[in-house]
Structures are given as C-alpha cells and as structure tokens.
Structure 1
Amino acid sequence: MLKELASVIDRLEDLLADLQQQETPSPGRVFSSTTPEPISRLVNHWQKLFVGQSGPAPSALQPAAASGTSRWVEELEHLLIRLRHGHKRLHQVQQSTSNRLRQTTLLLQQSDFSPPEADALLSELEGPDAGHQEQLWKLIDCYQAALALCTERHTNISTSYHELRVRLQLLIDELPFSGDIASELNKIKRQLLQLVDDNLLPGLCLQLIELTIEGCRQERHNSTLFLAQLNNNLGEMHHHFAISLSEGEALFDARTHHGHHIAGELRAIGEHLVSQDNAPLKEEIELRMRSISHVLVQHERLQERERSLLNRMNAMEQQIQSLKRESNNFKQQLSAQNDKLFIDNLTQIYNRAAMEERLAVEYRRWLRYQTPLCVALLDIDYFKDINDRYGHLAGDKALRLIARTIQKSLRDSDFVARYGGEEFLILLNNVNPEHIRIPLEKLREQLKKIPFRFKNERVTITASIGATLFLQGDNTTSALERADQALYRAKHEGRDQIIIA
C-alpha cells in the first residue's frame, strides 16, 4: 500500500510539473469537454489508487467549465500536500506496528510456550517486504497455539500435583511414628485432602521432610535408650547367672566329694562285716548294703544330670557374654550414627540440630548455677563474592578452613556450630563478662590470618560478630535475637567488627 501510494505521489508530481509548463490560458478561454491528456492520466492514477474504482473522478479533480489549467494546478498542489502528509503518517504507523509485532513475537519466542511457527514469523518480520496484516494474523495463530500449549501443560501440572498429593498421603500412612510426630503427620494428611492451592504443596513437603527427620531422630534416641537398658539388663543377668553357675559347680564338687566319702565308708563297713560270724546280721546288713548301693547309683545319675545342666548353663553364660558384646557394639554404632546426625557434612563441625540441643543444655546449666554464658553469631563478610569470583568449590574450601580456625581459637569447653550458610554460632560458658570481647577479638584476627589462596591470589577473610550475655529473664530465643541484632549492626556499620549487645 505504501509503495503504491508513493508511486502515485511521484506520478502526480510529474503531472503537476507538466501542467505548470503549459501555457497559461486566456481569461475568456474554458476547457473543452475533452479533458487534456495529463488530466486524464491523473484521473486514471487516482482511480487505481482507490483499488480500481470505476465511475467519475472525485469532485476535487473534476474541472469546472470556467476553470483553467491554473485551477487544476491549485487543486493538484493541495491534494499532493495531503497525500504527502498521509503517506508520512501511514509510514510512521507501519513502522510502529512493525516494531510492536517484532517485539511481541520475540517475547512469545522466548516464552516456555512458544510454538515452532514463532521463529518463522520473526524471520518474516525482519524482512523488508513484511505484510503486517498477514503477519498480525500469523501472530494471533501463534498466540492461540501458545495458549493451547499452556492449557495443556497446566492440565498436566494439575494432574502431577494430584498424583503428588496421593503419593504423600500413602507415604504418611507408611511412616511408623507415634506420639506428637504422628499427630503432626495426620494434620498434614488432612491438609493434603483439603488442599485447594497447589502452591502450598512445596511447604507441606518441607514440613513432611522435617517431621520425618525428627521422627527418625527420636526413634534413634529411643533405640539408644533401649539398647542401653538392654545392655544393663544383660550385664545384671550375666552377673547373677555367673554367680549361680559358680555356686552350682561348687555344690556339684561338694556332692561328688561326699559321695566318694560315703562309698568309701560303705566299702569299709562291708569288709568289716565279711569278717564277722553272725549270719543273720550279715544277711540283713548285706540287704541294706545293696539298698545303699542302689541309692549311690541313683546319686551318680543325678550327678551326671547336674553336670549336664551345669554344662548347658555354662554354654548359656557364653551366649549371654556374646549377646552383651554385640549389644554394646550396636550401641556404639548407633551412637556414632547419632553423632553424624549432629555433624555438618561440609565443615565437619556441629550443625544446627546439635546447636539447639547444646544451647538447651547450657541454658539449663545457666539457670541453675548462674555462671556467665555468652552466645555469639559470626558471619563471614562478602562471602558471596568468593563464590562468584572463584566458584563454589573455593567457597566450600574456605568454609572448612574457617570452621577449623574457629575451633582452634576457642577453649575445649566452648562450643561452635554451623548456624547456616556462612554463619556460625558460638557458646562461651563461664566467661568473664568484663573480658568477653577478648576471645572474640582473638578469633576475628585469626580469621583474617587464614592463608587462603586461589589461583595464586591471596584472599583475605573477615567476619562480623554479634554477641550477648544471657540476662535475667532471658530464654534461648530472646538471647539469640539480641545476638542477631548485634550482628546486623556490625554488618551495617562497616563489617569486620564486633558488636556486643
């Protein structure tokens, strides 16, 4: 359209030049009924401009009887001005439309729901002969395809969320926990059944993971207590069993000795009776001797059964000893695994779970004895820059060095744990309140001396520390919040410093 309009304007300018070169007619001269050839060509071009319309020319180009060439020139100049202005505005509109179509298509192409036609459409819009009306319809088709793809994916996502809810419910049914953990799991199960917003699913999954970890920790703790009790019971049983076995063996030996003694005495009596002449007495005594011999045989059989029982008791005693050793080994393994639950995998110091338990213990001790207790939060300054400049492997290496440096700088009675990310918690118990800054300043200076290098570049590590002493009326939460506020001040007042609240 713009090309055709520009062509018409060029042709009109040529015709205007032709008309201006004609002689000016006399005042009394009028146009004949036959229109001059330039005017005829002008009318034909005008009709072509308006999509091949037939019929009379527009009134602006129909010459009046009293008009001359000057009238045609005047009208033509006026129309050319309008056409040039319209051409300029149409060109601007086309440029704006082209840019908007191109931007819209580019955004569609970059989306997750872009159909394959978007690439071809963008190529066409980059071309010089793009027909915007045609491209607009293509763009609408692309948006319809993207909308269909979006709807399809949304349907698939909804189906996936439904399947996830079902799997989580089945998982909750299979978890063998009891008590408070079971109650919390049932709450999550009810929430899954009544869930309307699928965006809440990730939060419920995290709660389920935390409850599962806590349930495993409680089960492990209960197993440790059970094994300890079992080990104690086995020890007591082994002790009493060993005493009973010892007494049984002593009794067996005593009975054997007395049996031999009785048998010897009976043999002596028999030999003495053989030398006597009283026949009736000898017969009666021999009869009693045979009865006593039968009793001795029965006594020997009972001794054999007692010996067999003692042998079985001895074997059982060996089994109890073996079971006790296995129970003790299992207890040690379980204790070691339990310790691993409280160790941070990266830094190999205590993690946040261990910190919570130790903090509770130290808090109870502080309540009972009122010995000064300090809690400090340490955060590495600009640690994100280390990860961004040197990579996460370098950042991990730095965290391990920092953790070891903190441990070496503290007393054995102090406690340090990785609180999260590049933040550490430190407990200083029985510390002098007036000199609380001294060990923390020593620690801060030690961190700056860490010989950390990456790609032959020396990297200086600094830390901000916020600390506080437990005060009357404090609990663990209030003390931690006060230390956290002190750390916030340290970081926003220049970093690499200690604030004690």
Structure 2
Amino acid sequence: MSSDPSWKDKYFQELESAEHREANWKAERNVLERMLVRTSLASEGQAPELDRLLARVRADLRKNKVDVVSWKELQEQIDRQVALLDDAPGPSVEPAIKAETATVLPGDTHDVENQSQRLSIARRVGHLLGQLLSQVALEPDAEMSARNLQRALLSSDNWDELRDGLNQVADLIVAAVTRSQREFEAFLKRLDERLEVLQEHFSVQTSVLSGRQAAAETLDRNIREEIERVGQHVEASNDLHDLKQSVGRHLEFIGQAVGRFRVDETAREKILTEQLQAVQKKVAIMEAHSERMQGQVRKERERAMTDLLTQLPNREAWQERFSFEFNRWRRYQYPLTVGVMDIDFFKRVNDSYGHKAGDRVLQLVAREIKSRLRNTDFVARFGGEEFVLLFPETQPADALVVMDKLRAHVGALPFHFGSDPLTVTFSAGLAGFVPDDTEETVFERADRALYAAKGEGRNRVNVS
C-alpha cells in the first residue's frame, strides 16, 4: 500500500508527543523539587533534629532518589518535631505577636523574635506557593485549597494555623506530581488504544489483500486450465460440431469464473473502502489530538524555560541559547559578546523592605533590560539578582555603550516602597569571544569583569 509510510509517520509522531509529555512532566517535577528545597531551607534553625530531617529531604532530592514509603515515615518524623517545637516551654507570659492589641512585656524579646521568624518563614513559603501555582496545574479542589492556604500563609498571625498550612504544602506538592503522572499515564493509555485500533484495521486490510491475491491466482489457474483443455480437445476432436460444443462449455466456465471473481472483488473493495474510511477517521482524530498535545508541549516547554518571577528566560534556556551562539561563532567567527550583571546591594532591599519589594525590583529591572535590547540580543535570569546577556555580532566596545545606557536608565528609575524613594543600580562585566575560547572561559572572564566592577565601587560596567 502506498500510504503505509504515512501510518508509520503518525505512529512516530505520537511517540514523539509522548516523549515530549514525559519531558514536561520531568520539568514540572523539577520545579516542585526546587520548591520543596527552598521551603526546607526557609524552615531551618528551629531545632537540630528538625534540621537533620530537612537535610535528609534535600539529600534525597539531590540524589534524585525519593522512596514514597520512607518519605511518609520522614514526614511523620517532621510532623512530630514541629509538634514538639510548638509544645516547647517558653516564658510564662503570652507571646507578644498574638493579636493586634497585644503588648510586649519585659523578657518577651526572645519570644517575639521567634514569632517574627516564624511569620517571616510562613510569608516566604506563601510567596513561593504563589509562584508554584502559576507554574503547576492542580485539580480544581486542590487548587482552591492551595489558594486558601496561600492567603492564610500571607496574612494569618496564628501560628497554629500557619503550622498546619506549612504541613499542607508537602501534600500539595505530592498532589501536583501525582496529577501530572496520572495525566501522562492516561495519555499513554489513550495512545496505546488508538494504535491498537489502527493495528486491527491494518490486519483486516492485510487479510483482505491476501484473499484478493489468492482469488486472482485461482482465477488465473482456472483460465489457464480451461484454455489448455480447449487445446487438447481441438487436437483430439475430428467432429466440428463436438468441437464447437466443447469450446462453448469451456468458455462458459471461464466466464463464470470471471463473474465470481468480480463479485468477490466487489465485496473486497467494499470492505477495503469501509476500512479505509474508518482508518482515515481515526487518523483525523489522532492528528487533532496530536496537534493539541504538540501545542500543549510547546506551551509547557516555554513555561519550563521561563523564570516565573521575571518572565525572562531561565538558566536552562540561557544554556541552550549560549551553546547555540557559541557553535555559530565557532563556525562563522562573527563577533559575540557575553555579559553578566548583578543588582547592587540587593540584599539590603530584601532586608529593609522585604522579599516582596526585592521581587518587584527584579521584575522592573528585567522589564527594562528586555525592552531596551535588540530582538537579536538575549537576556536571562541566571539566579538571584544576577542576569546574563548575549550580544550576537557585537564587539565588546559596542556592547559597553548599550550596557552603560541601560545602567544610567535603571539608575534614574523612580523606585518607591511606601514613602521611601530607592535608587537601584547594577554592575556588569562584558567579555568577547577570542580564538580558542570555550563557553566556560569567556563566561569566566565576564564574571571576573563583573566582580572587578563591584570592587571599583559598583554602578559601572567593565570589559575584560
């Protein structure tokens, strides 16, 4: 059949979609694991045994070795440690931060600090949970619970409620991973069922074609035999009348054989037509589903390669683009400049105004960088307050002009938090590719140029 290769193409396309779906599931799980690591780090310092258990969580995640049974036991141990932490004896007076009308009495400083630290952890986890919900799809009921939990973590001052909320974060992460796994398994099941239906259609078509070939061979054999008998009768016959009758009988037999073949052939053609229509319908359904899956895979890939906070490409996207530009430079030897920039005194912003203010600074700076670069340039958030840039077909001196203009623009932006004005600046280092460079060597030179700019007073751009 001339259309056989197209069925194979559809089959391989579905397999490719399945592989993309699996890759997306792995990326989503990676986001969840990073969220869990951050949560565990934010919760450290409460008790040595609790720190040990949280360190075990991070160690299992680093090894990519998560055993569900052992983790259930680990969760129970963590729950017990949190309960012990809450039941630990403290000063005889009530905690200072318990209601809006509460007052701080002498000797309550330690309790106030503990409560403040707990509230800070809860607020940060609530903020991270918001980022998680924008990245990961949950069941409607689970998402509603997660939204309620996020509001509680961001607004409640009741530690008992916050403690229960923090315990629910792990359950939400497990629910998200489980949902993604179920969706992937359901997709594979549907794919297997549709491929099985196609296989059945192909088997029927193969059987029909085999029957057609056998019928054609039978017809050919019958005609040959009758023609041979006619020849024998012609040679042996001496009576013209008998010869005519004999030839007539043989021709009639041949005509009947051809007639039967045509009837059978019509039936076979009808079966083939019905089967072909059924296959075309199934393929159309599979193509529509495949297009939806490919669109979803593309969307999920974009999300997996995008930084949640700044909406810039993330570190994984940077590495992919960096490798592409490096190979292009090595082939064509066009100029290529790498930039590394870091927001100055960013920790002070977080310490003075909170993480929410720090996140806002990152968002605004990212927006200004993206809006002032060429379409051919590339910027990504490398981590924390650090950004990385690529300037294809650009010498370092030309990239320096662009970065200095960007630095002056960012420094002049009217940042305000509450009633306090804030000046935000950044330092950056640039390095151009030279013969025998690798990705690592040029990035290292740009990084050294950045730290040289920091050492020379910040708010400047240095070229290596």
TM-score by length of 2: 0.47
Please say which structure displays the higher CA radius of gyration: 1
Q: Which has the higher contact order (CA 8 A, sep 6+)?
A: 2
